[in-house]
């Protein structure tokens, strides 16, 4: 019988249908009336953590530690819970505290909640993240709607679908050429206008995933920009691939929190360091404001 966090050993990158179903059954047995079928799943990255607190009744909060087979996030500030409720009249689950491979989890463990969402009935997944800006036209606190991605770990063999395929979720070789739903992307830009986000603060672009936890070097940032990357981060793509494998629609949103450094000469290192220190508080305030905009944006899209 499954018990909370009865995970396979870390070196086993495989879960059976029963492993996922144990988590889903635990959750379903506790969902209140009105939330028997969840329609929307939101992975709350930077800028959306407060969205879970705005979900309306009926509500339910479950900590990861109490859900069978859920791994815990070790990132400081990540609460580690699923919050259920209604958002714009739709039954919704918010994942507060995502798991990252750089914490020591296998990729399959980091995306475990996405497959559980599928078993709960989720049809649409909104994935959010904080990202560095590669595109020189992007400013801190801008929002990028993800059009496509480049997954460097995946190109080197580190893919969340490696291992025995579970046909109950999807095919062995799923296409991801159109992973990010076109209609949802259009809806995101329309919603941005409705909630008053300036047009110049909204972009569409390519998200590059790196493994982390170290940030990209200047040479790596130049490379990512040269191959078409507009933003860079350490998450999102595995969740997107697994969601698409299971037939769910996906929308990805990046909050640009910093500019990546590509070239710095010896003469301007000190000047750049001083500029970063002077502008740090302004960046924090702007990012906090955009966090509210991100929440309003998602509520309107849903």
Region 134-144 average pLDDT = 94
Question: What is the pLDDT confidence band of residue 5, given thresholds at 50, 70 and 90?
Answer: low
**Per-residue pLDDT, 272:** 55
Is 141 noted as a catalytic residue in this protein? no
- C-alpha to C-alpha distance for 145 and 201, rounded to whole angstroms: 11
Question: Helices marked H in the chain — which ranges?
Answer: 17-28, 107-110, 112-119, 152-155, 182-194, 218-226, 237-245, 269-301
Integer Cα distance of 44 and 197 in angstroms? 20
Query: Which letter does DSSP use for residue 274 in this model?
Result: H
pLDDT band at 94 (very low <50, low <70, confident <90, very high): very high
Residues 6+ apart with CB under 8 A from 87: 40, 42, 51, 54, 55, 56, 298, 299, 302
Residue 271 pLDDT level (bands cut at 50, 70, 90): low
φ, ψ dihedrals at 42, nearest 5°: -125, 125
Extract the tokens encoding 47.
Answer: 């800028």
The model's confidence at residue 13, banded by pLDDT at 50, 70 and 90, is low
- Tell me which of 231, 235, 254, 291 is the catalytic residue: 235
pLDDT greater than 90 at residue 266: no
Among 46, 73, 129, 291, the one annotated catalytic: 46
* Cβ neighbours for 250, distance < 8 A, ≥ 6 positions apart: 124, 125, 126, 127, 179, 180, 181, 184, 240, 243, 244
The predicted structure's pLDDT at residue 1: 45
Query: Which pLDDT score, from 0 to 100, does residue 269 have?
Result: 56
Q: What is the CATH number of domain 17-301?
A: 3.40.50.1580
Could you give the percent of the chain with pLDDT greater than 70?
A: 83
Residue among 23, 26, 78, 246 flagged as catalytic = 78
Decide if 100 is catalytic.
Answer: yes
Tokens of 66: 């109490």
Q: Give tens-digit pLDDT for 207-229.
A: 999 998 888 888 999 999 999 99
Active-site position among 5, 25, 165, 258: 258
pLDDT at 160 over 80: yes
Instruction: Note whether 302 and 195 are within 8 A (CB).
Output: no
Q: Active-site residue 88, yes or no? A: no
Is 73 a known ligand-binding residue?
no
Average pLDDT over residues 93-120: 92
């Amino acid at each position: 019988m499954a018990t909370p966090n009865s995970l396979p050993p870390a070196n086993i990158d495989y879960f059976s249908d029963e492993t996922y179903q144990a988590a889903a059954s635990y959750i379903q047995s506790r969902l209140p009336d009105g939330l028997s079928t969840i329609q929307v799943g939101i992975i709350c990255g930077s800028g959306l953590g407060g969205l879970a607190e705005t979900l309306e009744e009926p509500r339910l909060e479950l900590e990861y530690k109490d859900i069978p087979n859920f791994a815990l996030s070790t990132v400081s500030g990540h609460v580690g819970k699923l919050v259920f409720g209604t958002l714009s009249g739709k039954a919704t689950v918010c994942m507060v505290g995502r798991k990252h491979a750089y914490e020591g989890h296998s990729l399959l463990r980091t995306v475990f909640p996405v497959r559980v969402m599928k078993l709960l009935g989720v049809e649409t997944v909104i994935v959010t993240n904080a990202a560095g800006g590669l595109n020189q036209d992007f400013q801190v606190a801008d929002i990028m709607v993800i059009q496509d991605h480049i997954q460097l770990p995946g190109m080197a063999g580190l893919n969340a679908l490696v291992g025995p395929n579970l046909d109950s979720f999807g095919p062995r070789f799923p296409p991801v050429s159109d992973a990010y739903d076109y209609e949802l992307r259009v809806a995101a830009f329309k919603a941005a206008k409705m909630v008053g986000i300036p047009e110049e603060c909204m972009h569409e672009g390519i998200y590059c995933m790196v493994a982390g936890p170290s940030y990209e070097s200047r040479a790596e940032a130049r490379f990512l920009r040269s191959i078409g990357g507009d933003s860079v981060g350490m998450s999102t793509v595995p969740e997107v691939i697994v969601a698409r494998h299971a037939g769910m629609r996906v929308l990805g949103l990046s909050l640009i929190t910093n500019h990546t450094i590509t070239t710095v000469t010896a003469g301007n290192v000190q000047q750049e360091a001083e500029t970063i220190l002077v502008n740090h508080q302004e960046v924090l305030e702007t990012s906090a404001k955009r966090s509210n905009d991100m929440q309003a944006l998602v509520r309107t899209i849903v």
